[in-house]
């Protein structure tokens, strides 16, 4: 489970019993709950997220105990009206919104330039189960390197990504690392602020962290019972 900052990691950890133990790996500090997941606060942004998750996945694989699933979790900006502050979203698409090139005809994603990918899709059945268990709304979660701060940018992102519910800064990095290891990914976000004009006073980080704890309490049985080879895992 990867978050950006320790406050998000600890909010997730509160959903699991027991005190997590610290495990220091080359390139990643994991918090391992006794019967819960391994938690990593990898830092803000897709690069740190990818680096930390890749380090944790590599260490687990070399140890002969590979992870079966990687979850990107944390707070996010929500696009009105479908993802209000305090609500939960689960990504059925994890999309890098600003990975590409500006051209005379507008933004071109890296895929249009002949490189890589801009979208990862978590297993549909797992998204469904996560949404059913938590009440999270399923949809696209964008990964951005720059937090949106104007109504114009918010409108442009929504025009480019009509299914976008939220934006955050790590999901695509987590998903790239997971994909490199052939491990499925999930992204769950609690909305702390609206995507739009910058207004730090409107951020509800405490409420979003509490929603994250509540969500992971409900998600725990879904995550522990989920197997990639389930007939319904799709």
Ligand X SMILES: O=C(O)c1cccc(C(=O)CC[C@H]2O[C@@H](n3cnc4c(=O)[nH]cnc43)[C@H](O)[C@@H]2O)c1
Binding residues (CB under 6 A) for ligand X: these are 4, 44, 74-77, 144, 147-148, 167-170, 192-193, 195, 198, 200
Q: Please answer whether residues 137 and 89 qualify as being in contact, where contact means their C-beta atoms are separated by less than 8 angstroms.
A: yes
Closest CB 16 distance from ligand X, rounded Å: 21
Closest CB 228 distance from ligand X, rounded Å: 26
- Closer CB to ligand X, 76 or 91, in the complex: 76
CB atoms < 10 A from the CB of 121, how many? Answer: 14
- Closer CB to ligand X, 112 or 151, in the complex: 151
Q: How far apart (Å, rounded) are the C-alpha atoms in residues 120 and 141?
A: 10
Greatest pairwise CA separation for the chain in angstroms: 56
- Closer CB to ligand X, 13 or 169, in the complex: 169
- Closer CB to ligand X, 4 or 53, in the complex: 4
The answer to whether the bond into 128 is cis (omega within 30° of 0) is no
- Closer CB to ligand X, 198 or 227, in the complex: 198
Q: How far apart (Å, rounded) are the C-alpha atoms in residues 101 and 202?
A: 32
Residue whose C-beta lies closest to ligand X: 77
Closest CB 13 distance from ligand X, rounded Å: 17
Instruction: Collect all residues with Cβ–Cβ distance below 8 Å to 214 and sequence separation of at least 6.
Output: 15, 134
**Three-state SS letters, 9-40:** HHHHHCCCCCCCEEEEECCEEEEECCCCCEEE
Closest CB 114 distance from ligand X, rounded Å: 28
Closest CB 192 distance from ligand X, rounded Å: 5
Give residue 143's region: left, alpha or beta (phi > 0; psi -120 to 50).
beta
Closest CB 91 distance from ligand X, rounded Å: 12
Tokens read off for 45: 């942004």
Locus of tokens 């997590």: 20
- Closer CB to ligand X, 59 or 90, in the complex: 90
Q: How far apart (Å, rounded) are the C-alpha atoms in residues 94 and 132?
A: 19
């Amino acid at each position: 489970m990867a978050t950006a900052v320790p406050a998000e990691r600890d909010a997730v950890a509160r959903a699991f019993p027991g005190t997590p133990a610290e495990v220091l790996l080359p390139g990643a500090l994991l918090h391992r709950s006794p019967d819960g997941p391994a938690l990593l606060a990898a830092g803000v942004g897709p690069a740190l997220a990818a680096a930390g998750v890749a380090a944790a996945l590599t260490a687990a694989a070399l140890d002969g105990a590979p992870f079966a699933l990687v979850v990107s979790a944390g707070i996010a900006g929500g696009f009105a009206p479908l993802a209000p502050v305090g609500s939960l979203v689960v990504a059925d698409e994890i999309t890098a919104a600003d990975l590409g090139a500006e051209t005379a005809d507008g933004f071109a994603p890296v895929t249009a330039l002949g490189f890589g990918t801009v979208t990862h899709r978590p297993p549909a059945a797992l998204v469904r189960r996560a949404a059913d268990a938590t009440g999270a709304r399923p949809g696209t979660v964008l990964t951005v390197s720059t937090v949106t701060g104007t109504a114009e940018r918010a409108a442009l992102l929504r025009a480019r990504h009509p299914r976008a519910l939220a934006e955050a800064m790590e999901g695509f990095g987590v998903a790239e690392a997971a994909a490199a290891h052939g491990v499925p990914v999930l992204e769950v976000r609690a909305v702390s602020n609206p995507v739009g004009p910058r207004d730090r006073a409107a951020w509800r980080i405490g409420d979003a962290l509490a929603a994250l704890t509540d969500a992971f309490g409900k998600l725990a049985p879904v995550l522990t019972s989920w197997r990639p080879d389930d007939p319904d895992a799709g």
